[in-house]
Structure 1
Amino acid sequence: MKQSKILIPIFLMVVIPALLTTFLTLFKFSATLDRKLSDAFFHLLPSHHRFSNDIVIIDIDEQSIAKYADHPELGQWPWKRHIYPTLIGYTKLLTPPKITIIDIMFTERSDYDDALVSANESLGEISHAANFRDGGIVIPRKGIETISQKFSVPLDTKIPFPKYENASFPIGLIGETAPMIHVVNVIADSDGILRRFSPFVRWNGLYFPTLALQAFALGESYKTESKDSNFYLLKGDVRRIVPVGKDGLVRSYFYTEEELRNIPRYSAAGIIESLEKLNSGEVEDPNSLLVPPKLFDGKIVLIGTSAASTHDDVVTPHGLFPGVIAQAVFASNLIEGHLLKELPESYGIGFTIIVLFVGVLILFINQWHLLKNIYPIFAVSLFIGTFYFLYRMDMVLSTYSFVLGFPISYLLGFAYLTYTEGREKRKFNHILRNLVDPEVVSVALENMESLKQGGEWEITAFFSDVAGFSSISEELSATDLAKLLNEYLSAMTKVLKANAGTLDKYIGDAIVGIFGAPIQNKEHPKLACKTALEMVTELENLRVEWNKRGDYTPLARAMVFRIGLNCGLAKVGFMGTDSLASYTMMGDSVNLAARLEAAAKDYGVSILVSESIESVCKDTFHFRFLDWIRVKGKEAPVKIFSLESFQKDVTSIMLDAEKEYELGFSQYSKRNWEDAIEHFKNVSKILGKEDKSSHLLIKRCQTLFQNPPPVDWDGVYTRTSK
């Protein structure tokens, strides 16, 4: 396809989808759309991480609130605070948990704060919840500076972790005596879905850990490190990379909905009932209790609520869940290293553009119709496979550019292809009437699309030219000249076509032919050699007929031609205008064949071929080595041969003469000019006639003897003319 014609498909299939994705990016729609689409893929693809075994939840659920609504010590929600030390103490009856993290706010005073203060001082690893917010009136509270300094984390980082204007820490002595404090804020995306969390948040120029980070740290010391645009948490031998985004949030791996619903959750009511039975002596063996204390041994315990009346629900990729479930997911992510790195949008866009460009080639360059139909399946499979491969490596490829761009691209491409194919068929029906070779017409009718498209593959280029035709034409009248050319060209073209050759064009008396196109044929070098030898025989027959009839002039009746053959890669296909075109060939291999035809004159041979012909045809045809030459326009030397005959027609005289010639060429290559000349002279003696090739080398040796070549001379003769 011409460059100008491929630009329209590129515009339709690449530029338009690219502009659409750019529009979405500029107007901030892409990030939300991307995350929605990736959620859908996560639901479809197999899960590869499991929720941490270290996390359990004490859940103040609907059953707990309903059961103790009339209890004098608890009452309706919110419960009196002395119940929390009871719950925490129960988990420590046997082996204590690693840490107890409370996901309930104690920012207002109550009559039972002393119980929590006592728990802070006696029950150990407890982390209380703080809540940050923007806006509102800042109410100064006693001790807030002390608490904020005590629990802030020194960070040396440029990562823009979420920043808030106001902070609510646990009230009074609860906050002052708390062993640890964590921030429970979560930040939903613009579509209201909670997918990401931050390990730290900022307030008043200070950094504070979130619940997930506290679960990771377990009250132990840890360090942070920012290096090479990555953020690291270091605790003991653990080095956890946290792929924080530009807004300070990291994408969470949300496991499966089934796993979220099966996170170990123990009803607060069950714990209270178990403790009452244990204290009353009704049950002596703790393991037979409704909620045995051993369930909390060495665990990370989260205390939260799932009751609707507590209004602590969030929207996750799996739907509505209690906030403590989302916090548990974030904690599991950080503990187990199940963090997703959202790759830059440019990765997804780049992938999509490559696929779209390949789609242009498939639709408008490729001629295999099946591939045009299966490529969408392949492209979608490739995208899903790439997405899943990266997902398994905890990386998220941007999806919106492909999901939107590829269908639009392929629909536009197919629409344009349908439109152009109808127009192309009409055009080529007209072109076929102007083709010379009937075989090309036949192939076109059977597979016009393949012929129209052309391609690049190995062919044999054929060039022939009549020697001294200018002199012949000067001696003939216009009528005789036309008659001579018609007879000659008709006979030669007949031989060409009889051997599956395609007539490219006539250039005066010159014939240009193609073997191996448009019908690809592995035997094209041998067919070209056979054609050349048969043309030599056919010209001899013409000369006999002309002499017999006495037609034309003696010079015309003695006509000889030269043929150049070379095989190699070439571009073949229709070239021309809408109204007049020809099937032709282009490429370095074609140019070399033309140069060989011209060089045949120097060596006095009828058929000059390259080594690429000789190497594949030497079993059937006999070739004579002539020289190493460097033709105009090519730096690489070419080994050339004369096509002498079929192998069955070789004589001992021919073999002896060629052996002597090769000995002479060997001495010539070694700069033994005199020895070379003797061998070259012997060639003519063996043949019983002057051998022009030997005579050419003799003159060259004499010249080099008088003017020695440079030290780096490689024995290759450089032709300065075409």
Structure 2
Amino acid sequence: MTDYAFSSVNQLANDFKDAIKNADDDQKKVLKKAQAKFSLIERNYQIITNLYNNNMVDEQRPLYFFPSSQRLVAGKEEKGNAKLIVPFEFVGKKLYYGLTATGTHDLNPMPFNPRYPMVGLHANALNTILDNKLIHEVSKAWVVLIIIILGVVLAFGIPSLSPVQGGATIGGLLIGYTYLCFWLFSSQHIWLDLFGPAITMAVGYLGITIYNYIQEEKNKQFLKESFGTYVSPELIDQMYESGEEPSLGGEEGYHTAFFTDIQSFSAFSEKLSATDLVSLLNEYLTDMTDVLLDNKGTLDKYIGDAIVAFYGAPIEIENHELWACKTAIIMQDNLELLRQKWQSEGDRWPEIVHHMQNRIGINTGQMVTGNMGSASRMNYTMMGDTVNLAARLEASAKQYGIYIQIADTTYQPVKDQIVIRDLDFVRVMGKTEPAQVYELISETGQEPELYKKILPAFHEALALYRNQEWNNAIEAFKASDELEDMFPGRKTNPSRIYIPRCEHYRDNSPGDDWDGAWTLTSK
């Protein structure tokens, strides 16, 4: 700005801006320093003008803090922006003096600044008073009321929700309440306690969760104590997860009854000491019960050597007829393993133990299951005509020389999954209606090779019997009898029992209206 002609302060300020805008870098630095000095001159002129206009020029003194005689300066001289501070600048203002330089002892941590000048606290307090932006704290009574309301919600509302819903609800309440507290503080200058209610929600929900967990474990333990001795652990877990509880006093349903006992067990008592008998029976019952429980059966009771059980209660089981049949087949397989074990122990057991057999009766139909007995002592058991027939089938199996006898109601739902011998159409003791019964051989495709020959021969003879071709039936049954496996302990077989029956009907014709039923005269 060579040979510049001064006209006015405002024009000079504008000329400085234009010159700096069009200058190179070196000229810009020089011009900016000149512009800063011009600003100081303008400021000092305005101060002096104000002092003169108010007749205060003679009252001004240099501003400094005793005992230092150095005048107070704003800015830095090396940067060219140093400004002397005069008392006139503080007229009508509030002044706080404090230490703010790094290394001084008046800097302390604050929530939003780790090294905040403490003089600022006083300035902020004064600013709050002057702006009338006072913080109003919500009374403790209101906070207690909020906590009580939250407690009621936690006690009665949250437990009725699922864990996921309860957690989401508590999370929503915490976020909403936190937002409310911050909004009231920043916008309305109201201080609502955040931590009391928030901790109440968090700790309360945690307590409810722990309580529910403990309660669930107690409920599950109760089920295990109530049913653990006769229901598999898997069924107990399924019962608990489904929320189904057996109704006290009994509940009618469509289930499968299962009976089994040892053949000629009274003879064992004569051959064994009481100690050996108990040891043998415990080993046998343990193995058979494990099979029962592993295949979703419910143990009803032990009656001496007999096992009474059922399928489909206390909770519903799909294909309970098949599970009962599988149990019977596996029991026979496991008993064979036990016989081999006892035989390997030599003279430890008499020969009758080496050839132990058990019989099984299975029937499916309507029955009542539930806790029955007295008020002081009860048992979870089954009752009904279906149960009675299952017991009769187990007992009558010995008359046919077979070891698993099932009713038609059990056979029909699983006929494609098991191999059977069509046994008889019989009236058992205590019943007037005849029942179709079968010998269960194995699951489909797993029958022994011997039965692949026996079953066609027997069924051919049975067809002759039902057509009242007595002489041909006798010859056919004799032929199938030759194929039967008469292992030790087996006194008869189905082919053999039909021969005298055919001879009886040959001499005493049942007539053309014969329904094919045979009435048993003993259990």
Question: How do 1:511-526 and structure 2 match up within 5 A?
Answer: 511-526=307-322
Give the alignment's TM-score, normalised by structure 1: 0.39
Deviations 1:88-119 (A, max 9, x none): xxxxxxxxxxxxxxxxxxxxxxxxxxxxxxxx
One-letter amino acid of the structure 2 residue matched with residue 497 of structure 1: L
Match of 1:654 among 438, 451, 468: 451
Change (3 A) 1:530 1:431: closer
Question: Which has a greater percent of strand?
Answer: 1
The partner residue of 2:387 within 590, 602, 619 is: 590
Q: Cα distance, 1:569 vs. partner? A: 1.0
The superposition leaves residues 4-62 of structure 1 with CA deviations (integer Å, 9 ceiling, x where unpaired) of: xxxxxxxxxxxxxxxxxxxxxxxxxxxxxxxxxxxxxxxxxxxxxxxxxxxxxxxxxxx
Q: 2:520 and 2:359 mapped to 1: Cα distance?
A: 17
Match of 1:473 in 2: 269
What is the rounded CA distance, in whole Å, between the counterparts of 1:449 and 1:612 in structure 2? 27
Name the SS for the 2:445 alignment partner.
helix
Equivalent AA in structure 2 for residue 598 of structure 1: A
Alpha-carbon separation, structure 2, partners of 1:466 and 1:687: 22
Bigger Cα Rg: 2
Structure 1 pair 523–438 and aligned structure 2 pair: CA distance change class (3 A): closer
Pick aligned residue for 1:459 from 255, 269, 291: 255
CA contact (8 A) 2:246 2:370 kept: no
Structure 2 counterparts to residues 280-429 of structure 1, below 5 A: none
> Which residue, 592, 596, 599 being the options, matches 2:396?
599
Distance 1:436 1:458 in 2: 23
1:573 to 357, 367, 370: 370
CA RMSD of superposed structures (Å): 2.7
The question of 1:675 aligning with 2:472 is answered: yes
2:425 maps to 628
- Equivalent runs, 1:77-96 vs 2, <5 Å: none
Shift of 1:552: 2.3
CA contact (8 A) 2:361 2:395 kept: yes
Residue matched to 1:437: 230
Match of 2:297 among 501, 516, 522: 501
| Counterparts of 2:374 and 2:355, CA distance in 1 | 39
Change (3 A) 1:433 1:670: closer
Does the 8 Å CA contact 1:466/1:510 hold for their aligned counterparts?
A: yes
Q: Identify the structure with the greater helix proportion.
A: 2
Q: Secondary structure at the match of 1:648?
A: coil
Aligned-partner SS, 1:452: coil
Residue identity opposite 1:676 in structure 2 = A
Look up the equivalent residue of 1:505 and give its one-letter code: K
How many angstroms apart in 1 are the aligned matches of 2:224 and 2:295?
Answer: 24
1:532 corresponds to which residue? 328
SS in 1 for 2:421: strand
Question: Which of 545, 560, 568 is residue 341 of structure 2 equivalent to?
Answer: 545
Query: Secondary structure in 1 aligned to 2:248?
Result: helix
Equivalent residue letter for 1:437: Y
Answer yes or no: is the 8 Å Cα contact 1:431–1:578 preserved in 2.
Answer: no
- Between Structure 1 and Structure 2, how many residues are aligned? 297
Residue in 1 that maps onto 2:415: 618
> Post-superposition shift, 1:547?
1.1
Could you tell me which residue of structure 2 aligns to residue 644 of structure 1? 441
Give, in whole Å, the separation in 2 of the partners of 1:689 and 1:435: 40
Whether the 8 Å contact between 2:257 and 2:311 is mirrored in structure 1 is yes
1:708 matched to 2:509: yes
| Distance change in 2, residues 1:438/1:527 (3 Å) | closer
Distance 1:430 1:502 in 2: 14
Deviation at 1:495, TM superposition (A): 0.3
Displacement of 1:697: 0.3
- Given the superposition, is the C-alpha separation of residues 702 and 675 from structure 1 closer, same or farther in structure 2, using an over 3 Å criterion? same
Matches of 1:718 and 1:520, distance apart in 2 = 35
**TM-score (structure 2 length as normaliser):** 0.53
In 2, the alpha carbon distance for the partners of 1:520 and 1:568 equals 14
Matches within 5 A, 1:688-699: 692-699=493-500
Cα distance in 1, alignment partners of residues 260 and 238 from structure 2: 25
Distance 1:577 1:432, change over 3 A: farther
Q: Secondary structure at the match of 2:362?
A: strand
Letter of the aligned partner of 1:626 in structure 2?
L
Q: Identify the residue that residue 558 of structure 1 maps to in structure 2.
A: 355
Instruction: Report what 2:285 is aligned to.
Output: 489
Deviations 1:530-575 (A, max 9, x none): 1001000111111111111133211122110000011111111111
Preserved CA contact (<8 Å) 2:231 2:297: no
Give CA-to-partner distance per residue, 1:652-676, whole Å, 9 cap, x none. 6524422222222222222221100
User: Residues 667 and 545 (structure 1 numbering): CA distance in 2 closer, same or farther, change over 3 Å?
Assistant: same
Partner secondary structure for residue 635 of structure 1: coil
Q: Counterpart of 1:682 in structure 2: which amino acid?
A: A
Structure 2: which 5+ residue stretches go unaligned? 1-217
What are the Cα deviations for residues 220-257 of structure 1, in whole angstroms up to 9, with x where unaligned?
xxxxxxxxxxxxxxxxxxxxxxxxxxxxxxxxxxxxxx
Pick 1 or 2: higher relative contact order, CA cutoff 8 A, min separation 6. Answer: 1
- CA 1:624/1:479 → structure 2, altered by over 3 Å: closer, same or farther? same
Letter in 2 for 1:705: R
AA aligned opposite 2:329? L
CA drift at 1:713: 2.9
Aligned counterparts of 1:621 and 1:580: Cα–Cα separation in 2? 40
Distance 2:297 2:467 in 1: 42
Change (3 A) 1:631 1:511: same
- Residue 55 of structure 2 corresponds to none
Give the distance between the partners of 1:435 and 1:702, measured in 2 at CA.
52
* 2:474 counterpart letter in structure 1: I
CA distance in 2, matches of 1:540, 1:431: 32
Does the aligned pair in 1 maintain the 2:249–2:372 contact within 8 Å?
Answer: no
* Aligned partners of 2:428 and 2:520 also within 8 Å: yes
**In the TM superposition, what is the alpha-carbon distance from 1:464 to its structure 2 partner?**
0.2
CA contact (8 A) 2:245 2:314 kept: no
**Aligned ranges 1:190-229 → 2 under 5 Å:** none
